[in-house]
Amino acid sequence: MASRPDLILASASPRRLALLNQIGIEPEHLVPAHVDETPEKGELPRKLAQRLADLKALTAQHKARSAGFGADALVLGADTVVAVGRRILPKAETMEEASECLSMLSGRAHRVYTGLTVLTPSGAKRQRLVETRIRFKRLSTREMEAYLASAEWRGKAGGYAIQGIAAAFVVKLTGSYSGVVGLPLMETAQLLAGEGYPVHFNWLNQSTLSGV
């Protein structure tokens, strides 16, 4: 029986690691992939999400192999893009950016795209793009000011974190909640299992440890 492949997560995001841990997956290596996330001219949100997922996975694979490890590992890359229509919202770094994002999202529907890429040791590339539709309530000035003061928005795509305070703004969500947080779990598990990663191994161990 062939040994299971190691897994490299092409991210330093604690959210993505926590999501993987939630379904019993602990990557052997975390390799941050800092890439230029600027959209190309005329690039659509869904294409940007998949391109950046690809780029992050390739960057992490190159870094790992240059450092002398990961030659036989699967590499998982992901990127999340928030868009209103064709307009891509930034990962807010300033209060002005976050305020502009909230103003655009208030009382409207928007879409969250998360691209997934798995690179195999043989050089194959597996991809999935997950789309989630979300509608926010109409935000009052007081709600917007309070959320901006929380600073929860900092570094978040679209200027909000659905797993935090901003959950109070969501009227409707259709699609993958975990995808909005940063990693769609069903699709991630399918991609990894399809490449021989034992997604369910720790589930069986959990039942043994708990005496079930």
pTM: predicted TM-score of the whole model, two decimal places: 0.92
1 occurs within a structural domain = no
What residues have CB less than 8 Å from 169, skipping those under 6 apart?
105, 136, 137, 139, 143, 160
3-state secondary structure of 84: strand
First to last CA, the chain: 27
Contact 199, 189 (CB under 8 A): yes
Instruction: Find where tokens 């709600």 sit.
Output: 143
Question: What is the span of the domain harbouring residue 42?
Answer: 7-209
19 occurs within a structural domain = yes
Rg of the chain, C-alpha, whole Å: 18
What residues have CB less than 8 Å from 42, skipping those under 6 apart?
none
What residues have CB less than 8 Å from 71, skipping those under 6 apart?
65, 121
Q: How far is CA 88 from CA 13, 43, 128, 167, 171, in A?
A: 21, 9, 19, 21, 21
pLDDT tens for 38-60 read 999 999 999 999 999 999 999 99
Catalytic residue numbers read 79
Q: Identify any residues that bridge with 202 across adjacent strands, giving them in sequence order.
A: none
Q: Which two tokens stand for residue 37?
A: 């996330």
41 occurs within a structural domain = yes
34 occurs within a structural domain = yes
- pLDDT 10s digit of each residue in the chain, 212 long? 357 789 999 998 899 999 999 999 999 999 999 999 999 999 999 999 999 999 999 999 999 999 999 999 999 999 999 999 999 999 999 999 999 999 999 999 999 999 999 999 999 999 999 999 999 999 999 999 999 999 999 999 999 999 999 999 999 999 999 999 999 999 999 999 999 999 887 787 665 444 54
Instruction: Look at residue 212 in the predicted model and tell me its pLDDT.
Output: 46
Contact 10, 77 (CB under 8 A): yes
pLDDT tens for 182-198 read 999 999 999 999 999 99
Give the separation between CA 160 and CA 188, rounded to whole angstroms.
23
CA 69 to chain centre: 24
Give the separation between CA 138 and CA 148, rounded to whole angstroms.
16
44, HSE (Cβ side, Cα atoms, 13 Å): 5
2 occurs within a structural domain = no
- Domain CATH for 77: 3.90.950.10
> What's the structural domain count of the chain?
1
